[in-house]
Amino acid sequence: MKFSRQGNSTVVFPVMPVVRSSACVVGPKEGKGPLREGFDLIHENTLAGRTSWEKAESLMLRQSLDIALAKAGLDETQIDFLLAGDLLNQIISANFMAREFDVPFIGLYGACSTMAEGLIIASMMVAGGFATNAALAVSSHHDTAERQYRYPTEFAYMRTPTSQWTVTAACSTVIGLAGNGPWIEAATAGRVQDNGVTDANDMGSAMAPAFADTVWRHLQDMSRKPEDYDLILSGDLGKIGSRLARQLLRQKGVDIEDRHRDAGLLIYEDSPEIGAGGSGCACSAAVFSAMVVPSMRRGELKRVLLVATGALHSPTTCQQGESIPSIAHAVSLVWKNEEVKS
Amino acid sequence: MPRANTREKEAYRKLSIKASPPRPILRNAVVAFLVGGAICLVGQIILSWISSTGIGRVQALSRTQTIMVFLGAFFTGLGLYDRLGAFAGMGAAIPITGFANSIVSPAMEFKREGFILGVSARMFQVAGPVIVYSFVASLAVSSAVLILAR
């Protein structure tokens, strides 16, 4: 059996899994943002016609998966594994969505890095011959996250300039062996990093070291330079985290300045309410679905490194004075001109 | 080393502060002063109006407080008070209307979890510490008065 690893920690797929389809269902704020054209369904209200925000988030997950399956021309019987995750305690949005599908289910938690975490696992399943098609669904919701991590939504307080706005969206993607592309060529799973940041309203600072570490290791393992990628997309570092991540990489002699973009800064127009940028599982996922995949299919981007970052804290650990451990997972996507036949 | 040591943490903290935008302290203070002052002005107008009817000062004060608490709760219910808070920070939080907001907002938020374990259990999530420590402070002050006044 061929051992498909390169360097210390990068997985290189001998058979490249294909992104067969992706779909994104968003809330009203995201639906007014710069990427609105790329979304499949925009809800006018964060309740999405449900009686609670948690129910709305779960519904949005289901809708995004339904759309992704339809786009791939598949039904649920053709999906071998369903992977899903979100930000809530006991990943309830994902679990409650999964009860609507008759598919073997694996729940994931990687905080805001779940999209990349799921892509890595789904790709391994497909490339390893354990699945023909694996579906991945991730979500986050501003109002459900706010009440779990911070204050009631109607509570009157001033957000700090470092705080980020949780993206209300659910995104699904189907990974398989044949289809449209783009293709997943390699992936680097992150190591948990902790640089002692304790401010839960400054997740960009907490996550930047994890991003820098994963990107650096990925480039080392693949013997590549940032110039080999048309885009290095971080998940939700925001303004401050992006600045720090670039600095940390520059200290290691890697300059990503001209090709680094942050999903948290692409999804909304700049405003004081948004603060340092968007965040949440669905932040990187929404930009992946609405921007990265279409751009690759149009041939505008040939190789993209998606690096979703996650802050692995909870309100309990923050109250107990613990610093915020963070993670970043990297997935390298390529666009090949020749169509691969199954 | 995934977990930074003290020296690395300190270096990173400095880097992080440098990368962060400065907090607009002057702007926040001015806005808090104006908005907080405006809320107090409304309270003063109500107090003067009630006092002009000739009822006692204590009566007038408690009625004014009741009206201000009602207004804070009312505008929280309309979904407007949180916007004032986002704009004016402590200017909206410190007056008694902000105290009303801190009780009404969790009550609204947790209504979906029921009236017992939701609304009533969570109502004082934010205001609870305020009540506890104002009670402790008043106890300390009155004890001091009691001892010193002997």
Mean pLDDT of chain B: 93
Q: Tokens in use for A129?
A: 């011959």
Which H/E stretch holds residue A184? strand A183-188
Does B29 or A336 have the greater pLDDT score?
Answer: B29
| A157 close to B86: Cβ distance less than 8 angstroms | yes
> Does pLDDT of A338 surpass 70?
no
Q: Which amino acid is at A328?
A: A
pLDDT band at B150 (very low <50, low <70, confident <90, very high): confident
Over residues A319-332, mean pLDDT: 96
| pLDDT value of residue A64 | 98
Q: Which positions in chain A touch B24 (Cβ < 8 Å)?
A: 161
pLDDT at A342: 38
CA end-to-end span of chain B: 63
pLDDT band at B21 (very low <50, low <70, confident <90, very high): confident
CA B133 to chain centre: 13
- Residue A321 domain-assigned (yes or no): yes
- Which chain A residues are Cβ-neighbours of B81 within 8 angstroms? 154, 156
Q: Does A148 touch chain B (CB under 8 A)?
A: no
Q: Measure CB to CB from residue A157 to each of B15, B23, B85 and give the nearest one.
A: B85
> Would residue A340 count as lying in a domain?
no
**Residue A108 near residue A324 (C-beta atoms within 8 A):** no
Same structural domain, A153 and A119:
yes
B51 touches chain A (CB under 8 A): no
pTM, rounded to two decimals: 0.93
Measured in whole angstroms, the distance separating CA B26 from the mean position of its chain's CA atoms is: 20
What was the pLDDT predicted at A300?
A: 94
pLDDT of residue A253: 94
In the numeric block, the tokens 């960009």 are attached to: A204
**A112: β partners:** A110
Closest approach of chain B CAs to the CA of A331, in angstroms? 20
The residue of chain B with its CA nearest to that of A190 is B2
Question: pLDDT (tens digit, 9 = 90+) per residue, A126-156?
Answer: 999 999 999 999 999 999 999 999 989 899 9
Q: What is the pLDDT of residues A270-321, one digit of tens each?
A: 988 899 999 999 999 999 999 999 999 999 999 999 999 999 999 999 999 9
If you compute the radius of gyration of chain A from its CA atoms, what whole number of angstroms results? 18
Q: Is A5 on the interface with B (CB under 8 A)?
A: no
Shortest distance between the Cα of B98 and any Cα of chain A, in A, equals: 7
Answer whether A322 touches B (CB < 8 Å).
no
Read off the pLDDT of residues A33-77 as tens digits, 9 standing for 90 and up: 999 999 999 999 999 999 999 999 999 999 999 999 999 999 999
pLDDT band of B109, cuts 50, 70, 90: very high
Whether A30 is in a domain gets the answer yes
Last residue of a domain, one of A176, A195, A228: A176
* Predicted pLDDT of residue B25: 93
The partner residue sitting opposite B112, judged by closest CB among A52, A159, A195, is A52
Q: Give me the helices (H) in chain A, please.
A: 28-31, 53-72, 92-98, 114-127, 142-149, 203-222, 238-251, 263-266, 281-287, 293-297, 315-319
Taking the CA of residue A270 and the nearest CA in chain B, the distance in Å comes to 14
Q: Which residue type does A5 have?
A: R
Chain A CB contacts of B108 under 8 Å are: 152, 154
**Is residue A339 one of the residues assigned to a domain?**
no
Please count the CA atoms within 13 angstroms of the CA of A279 that sit on its side-chain side: 33
Residue among B23, B93, B106 whose CB faces A157 most closely: B93
Number of domains in chain A: 2
Chain B positions touching A192 (Cβ under 8 A) are 2
A133 and A243 together in one domain: no
CB A335 within 8 Å of CB A181? yes
Contact: B82, A191; criterion CB under 8 Å: no
Mean pLDDT of A232-246: 96
Output the average pLDDT for chain A: 94
* Domain co-membership, A11 together with A147: yes
Check if B4 contacts A (Cβ < 8 Å): yes
Q: Does A80 touch chain B (CB under 8 A)?
A: no
User: pLDDT tens digit string along A206-215?
Assistant: 999 999 999 9
Task: State the residue range of the domain holding A164.
Answer: 5-176
- A172 and A35 within one domain: yes
Amino acid B22: pLDDT: 86
Identify whether A342 is part of a domain.
no
**Beta strand segments in A278-338, E:** 278-279, 303-311, 326-334
Which one of A153, A213, A244 has the shortest CB-CB distance to B109?
A153
* Section B17-27 average pLDDT: 90
Which of A136, A160, A176 finishes a domain? A176
Domain regions of chain B by residue span? 23-125
Contact A174, A123 (CB under 8 A): no
A31 — pLDDT class (breaks 50, 70, 90): very high
Q: How far is CA B100 from the centre of its chain?
A: 8
Indicate the pLDDT class of residue A181, thresholds 50, 70 and 90.
Answer: confident
Pairing of strands A326-334, A303-311: antiparallel
Percent of chain B with pLDDT over 70: 99
Domain end call among A114, A147, A176: A176
Q: How far is B118 from chain A, CA to nearest CA, in Å?
A: 12
Same domain, A191 and A314: yes
Q: How far is B147 from chain A (nearest CA, A)?
A: 37
pLDDT of residue A337: 66
Residues A281 and A197 in one domain: yes
Q: Given a cut of 90, is residue B142 above it in pLDDT? A: yes
**Rounded to whole angstroms, how far apart are CA atoms A174 and B47?**
65
Per cent of chain B over pLDDT 90 is 87
- Is A3 in the B-facing interface, judged by CB distances under 8 Å? no
HEC per residue, A74-106:
CCHHHCCEEEEECCCHHHHHHHHHHCCCCCCEE
Residues A140 and A192 in one domain: no
- How far does A17 lie from chain B, in Å, by closest CA? 30
The ipTM estimated for the assembled molecules is 0.88
Tokens of A68: 């992704």
Is there a domain that residue A341 lies in?
Answer: no
- For B101, the closest of A52, A156, A195 (CB atoms) is A156
Give the model's pLDDT for residue A281: 95
Mutate to test the interface with A, among B5, B8, B10, B16 (most CBs of A within 10 A): B16
* Measured distance CA(B126)–CA(A152) in Å, rounded: 9
Are B16 and A197 contacting, i.e. CB atoms less than 8 angstroms apart? yes
User: Does B1 score more than 70 pLDDT?
Assistant: no
Nearest to A155 among B19, B24, B126 (CB): B126
Tell me, yes or no, whether A171 and A195 share the same domain. Answer: no
Whether A36 and chain B come into contact, CB under 8 Å, resolves to: no
Q: Band the pLDDT of A340: cuts 50, 70, 90.
A: very low
Mean pLDDT of A99-125: 97
Lookup: tokens for A226: 């940032």
The C-alpha R_g of chain B, in whole angstroms, comes to 21
Confidence bin at A1 (pLDDT 50/70/90): low
Measured between alpha carbons, how far is B44 from B32 in angstroms, rounded to an integer?
A: 18
What CATH number did the domain enclosing A142 receive?
3.40.47.40
